[in-house]
Structures are given as structure tokens and as C-alpha cells.
């Protein structure tokens, strides 16, 4: 099983120019590809699978999307945060156009959700309640005839097992796009590719 590792920062070059005091969250995520280094995708319109060469930036966007969604649920990310643009892909079967991060398989999305929950959500919740416990402590406050005792005890949420992605079978046929020099994999029985899924140049299989 081939595995690719990437971090979740789609704007790494821009972030390096920012003040080093800015807080950044980075993860190393392992994604399974087939033996030709292709990642399986699913068209959200027709539901058919195809494959593209793995793109760390695209996977970083998908991971960032899951972090944003879960962060909104626990109040860790402002709901007015604006997402930066990302490139589009064209389905080789039905020509549906969508963001590359929205063309991952259900397995990949589920893996990313579990990864974010394990490595981001659980540690954040545990830290939040641990800080609250430290701030409250077991002290008491009194004045006059009234005395109030406040205590708080948090049991940390257990860290789930690390999720596994794959393995990925080495199926499908490779298609070379001469227009941009990129490749995809499509179903062996499919021969009706009319546009490059990357640059939308009209093409014909030969």
C-alpha cells in the first residue's frame, strides 16, 4: 500500500511571510494511493469513480474544510471566516465541474473527519476543560454571612485509535493529456473523454 504524507496548510508560502507569532495548526496525514501514485475520486453528480495524481494542496483544502466544519460546531472557528479559492476539476464521464476538494470519495472524507476529530477536536476540548478546571480550582469565596464553594472536575475524552485510509487497488486505465502534461485514470470500459479535466481543452482518446 502506497501512502502519501502532507500537512494541512494550503497557503504555506503566504504563511511563511506572516509574523511567526501567528498561531498555526499543522498535521501530517497519511493518504493511500495505488501503485501508480493515483488517488481515487468520486464525481458528486454522477457518482462514478476516477483517479488523479495526488495533490497535497487539494488534500490540505479538504482537511481544512473538515477542521472548519468541526470548529464551527464547537465554536472554535468564526462563522464569517472566508475560504480562499481553489481549482476546479471536470468529471471525465458527465463533465460536471466542482472544486477538487469536493470530489473525494466517501471513504476519504470519512477518514479526514475521523482524523480531525482525533487530532484536533478531542485535544481542543480536553485543553479547554483542563484550563477551566485550573482556573476554577477548588477554592471558596465568602463575604459576610454567605460562603460559596466552587469546584470543577473534568475527565479527559479518550483519544480514539488513529484512522487508516486504504488500501487502494491499482485498477483503471491511464489517460495522458498532451495539452497540460497531466494524467488521470478512468474506468477500463470508458472511451468517451472529450475534455481535459484540468484545463478543459477539447481532446480525443487515441
Cα(86)–Cα(53) distance, integer angstroms: 17
Q: Which three cell numbers stand for residue 3?
A: 501512502
pTM (predicted TM-score)? 0.72
Cα(5)–Cα(23) distance, integer angstroms: 22
Spell out, as residue ranges, where the chain has pLDDT lower than 70: 1-26, 71-85, 137-152
In degrees and rounded to multiples of 5, residue 30 shows phi and psi of -100, 120
pLDDT at 153: 72
CB atoms within 10 A of CB 137: 10
pLDDT at 7: 60
Amino acid at each position: 500500500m502506497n501512502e502519501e504524507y502532507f500537512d494541512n496548510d494550503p497557503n504555506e508560502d503566504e504563511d511563511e511571510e506572516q509574523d511567526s507569532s501567528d498561531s498555526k495548526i499543522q498535521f501530517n496525514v497519511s493518504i493511500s494511493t495505488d501503485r501508480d501514485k493515483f488517488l481515487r475520486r468520486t464525481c458528486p453528480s454522477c457518482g462514478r469513480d476516477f483517479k488523479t495524481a495526488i495533490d497535497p494542496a487539494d488534500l490540505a483544502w479538504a482537511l481544512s474544510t473538515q477542521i472548519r466544519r468541526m470548529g464551527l460546531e464547537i465554536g472554535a472557528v468564526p462563522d464569517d471566516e472566508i475560504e480562499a479559492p481553489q481549482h476546479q476539476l471536470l468529471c471525465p464521464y458527465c463533465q460536471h465541474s466542482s472544486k477538487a476538494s469536493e470530489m473525494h470519495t466517501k471513504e476519504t472524507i470519512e477518514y479526514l473527519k475521523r482524523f480531525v476529530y482525533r487530532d484536533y477536536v478531542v485535544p481542543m476540548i480536553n485543553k479547554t476543560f483542563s484550563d477551566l478546571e485550573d482556573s476554577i480550582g477548588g477554592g471558596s469565596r465568602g463575604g459576610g454571612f454567605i460562603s460559596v464553594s466552587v469546584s470543577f472536575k473534568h475527565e479527559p475524552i479518550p483519544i480514539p485509535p488513529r484512522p487508516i485510509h486504504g488500501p487502494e487497488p491499482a485498477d483503471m486505465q491511464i489517460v495522458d493529456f498532451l495539452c497540460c502534461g497531466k494524467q488521470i485514470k478512468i474506468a477500463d470500459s470508458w472511451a468517451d473523454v472529450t475534455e481535459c479535466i484540468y484545463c478543459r481543452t477539447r481532446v480525443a482518446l487515441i
